[in-house]
Amino acid sequence: MHIVLAALSGALLLAAAEDPPQAASKPVETFLRAADVNDFAAMEAVMDRGSSDFIKKINNCYLRRVYSTPQGIFAAWMCSEGPDRSRVLIANVGLTAGNKVEVVVGREDVTNRPAPERAGSAFAP
């Protein structure tokens, strides 16, 4: 996780504490708030049909952080892959022309380290 985030740290700015990025539209904000509490039904309700497979990819994950950059909104999920393995998934979260949330996975890394326990909201400082 640290390697992935370190590589992105130069390009990414941490979103404001307790709030999703200000540039977020309502569907994206709804999606991110639902992702923060693993409300998969609410997430899927605002997603485009092409992104629905994404929910399957993150069913054993939690939203770790949300980043806002000039290029868009990025979200990082931490996933447990067993007692000694974890997976980090970083995705761009945006809107389709039909005002639905589209999630595009940009990076996915598996490590031989356990996933840290969730420690509060992804929007916490």
Q: Would you kindly state where each structural domain of the chain is located, as residue ranges? A: 2-111
- Kindly report the pTM of this predicted structure: 0.78
The DSSP output letter for 12 is -
pLDDT tens by residue, the chain, 125 residues? 333 333 333 333 333 333 444 444 599 999 999 999 999 999 999 998 877 789 999 989 999 999 999 999 999 999 999 889 999 999 999 999 999 999 999 999 999 999 999 989 998 87
Q: What are the backbone angles phi and psi of residue 71, rounded to the nearest 5°?
A: -85, -10
Cβ-in-10-Å burial (0-12, 13-18, 19+) of 67 comes to: buried
Buried b (16+ CB within 10 A) or exposed e, 35-62: bbeeeeeebbebbbeebeebeebbeebb
